[in-house]
Structure 1
């Protein structure tokens, strides 16, 4: 009868790793995840996901939440081609609480494209907060239509 030799080094998942193997395994995990997050951030998917998560039905009555939602909406549906940080929303303070008129303007300061120090009006939005309807006069000043 032969005896099995006693193993002195563990095998399988309990095998000791070298420092190089440890670093390579970490990089193999971290690099693809980092690249995925960068691609999602550049494409705007992360902004859209955050907007879907944070914009609630009661947010229609909060000006800050509504303007942030509009900022994401305008940049991702192709209404504006400027970066979201370059948009200014001017709310009319005399509007009733259930409906608002918002002027959308483009600023040209800092990292925003265009002639420095100027602000140009792009279009006007009418917001029906009760029915959750957004209308725009983009392309036809004074004539409002639903946004895409």
Structure 2
């Protein structure tokens, strides 16, 4: 008969951890979890998760859904260099009187809450012209009234 109170680390006697100490079990879990956690933080900070989600959820029929289109444009203009503002500091105003081939969307910069210069104003940054059937977006950024394709 053996004594279970021998010196040294306690080892699991049965189950999936058989022959492994608690310290070894925790170390193995940390080796797996820590790099994944760091990877997720990096992907979130760089905006890669937003772009992957947009690529996965934005479908051809989404061009005719204002909410989905605005969310797609929010990701696009914040990640292609058109604005340095955070996505939550942008306001998109869809002009409902324009035809589907030339839907105009004004992009405004919020100046309230946690956004820069909280003075309550909404300066206009630029206008987007969306051709929904052709799935094409143009902007007048840098040349008001003269539209050109948005940067990719």
Structure 1 residue 97 displacement after superposition: 3.5
Aligned to 2:147: 144
Q: Which runs of 4+ in 1 moved over 4 A?
A: none
Q: Which runs of 5+ in 1 are unaligned?
A: 1-8
User: Would you say the 8 A contact 2:104–2:128 is kept in 1?
Assistant: yes
Aligned to 2:129: 126
SS at match of 2:115: coil
Structure 1 residue 18 displacement after superposition: 1.1
The counterpart of 1:89, out of the listed 89, 92, 104, is: 92
CA distance in 1, matches of 2:134, 2:17: 61
The counterpart of 1:112, out of the listed 107, 112, 115, is: 115
Aligned to 1:31: 34
The counterpart of 1:100, out of the listed 97, 103, 116, is: 103
Structure 1 residue 14 displacement after superposition: 7.2
Relative to total residues, which structure has the larger strand share, 1 or 2?
1
Structure 1 residue 89 displacement after superposition: 0.4
Q: TM-score, normalised by structure 1?
A: 0.88
CA distance in 1, matches of 2:109, 2:17: 60
SS at match of 1:51: helix
CA distance in 2, matches of 1:116, 1:22: 54
The counterpart of 1:61, out of the listed 61, 64, 67, is: 64
Q: Which runs of 5+ in 2 are unaligned?
A: 1-10
Q: Which 10-residue stretch deviates more, 62-71 or 88-97? A: 88-97
In the alignment of these two chains, the number of paired residues is 138
User: Would you say the 8 A contact 2:100–2:131 is kept in 1?
Assistant: no
Q: TM-score, normalised by structure 2?
A: 0.85
